Amino acid sequence: MEVVAKLPKGDWLWPAVWMMPVASRYGEWPASGEIDILESKGNARGAPGGGCDRFSSTMHWGPFWPENAYLKTHAEYPLPAGDLSQAFHTYGLLWNASRIQTYIDEHVVLDVAVNQSFWQWGAFGGGLDNPWDGRGDNAPFDQRFYLIINLAVGGTNGFFPDGLGDGKPWSNTDPHAANDFWAGVKQWGPTWSSPSLQVDSVRVWQRPADAGSDFAYRLML
C-alpha cells in the first residue's frame, strides 16, 4: 500500500496514516494489533519532542494493555534536509506472512521479519494467556485491517511529552488541558503556516495466495 501525501506544518499538529483490525479477532487492543505507517508532528525542525522533519512507524501488539511490545517494532526516519511539509512523499507498507515493512520513497523505515511468533518475540511473563495460541507466527497481523488517515491536534496521551522546555501550553495531567491549549493560540497560531494534511493518492496492491511469483494485481482506491 502507498499513500502519497504532504504533511502539515504547525505546532502541536499530529498527522497519521495507520491501520486497525476490522474484527479484532484476538481481543481488545493491542491483542489484535495496530500498524502505524506514519506518525509525525507539525512542530519545527529540531523541536525537542520532534518536528515535521521526521516521522515514526510502529506496530502495536501484546496480550493486553500495558503489555504492549511496540518498542520492538518501532523505527524513526529523519529527513536529511528540509521538512515533510515542503513536498509530497510516498509512505508505503509491504505486508505479507513473512515480512512487514514500511518505507518513505525508496528508504526502508521499519523492517520486521516474521521468523518466530510474536508471543515468543515478546517474551511475555509467565501466567499470561496467549491470545494467538494455535495461529501462525504472523498473528495478530494475519487478519483484515482497515486504513485510517487523520490529522489530530494536541492530546494528553503523551505523544507530546511534558517538561521538554518547548513552550507546550498545556500539561498532560491537567483536567483543563484543552482550555490551556486554546489560551496559547497567540503562541502556536502563527506557526500554522501550512496546517493541512494533503493526500494525493492511496493505492493498494494484492497478490492472490495461489498466484505465481510473476503475478501482479493492482487495486486502485
* Residue 80: its H or E element: none
Q: How many DSSP H helices and E strands does the chain contain? A: 3, 11
Q: How does DSSP assign 115-174, residue by residue? A: SS-HHHHHTPPTT---TTTTS-TTTTSSS-EEEEEEEEE--SSSSS-SSSSS---S-TT-
Q: Which of 2, 28, 39, 76 is catalytic?
A: 39
39 a catalytic residue = yes
Q: Contact, 166 vs 47, CB < 8 A?
A: yes
34 a catalytic residue = yes
Q: Which of 34, 67, 76, 106 is catalytic?
A: 34
Q: Residue 102 and residue 56: Cα distance in Å, rounded?
A: 10
What positions carry a catalytic annotation?
34, 39
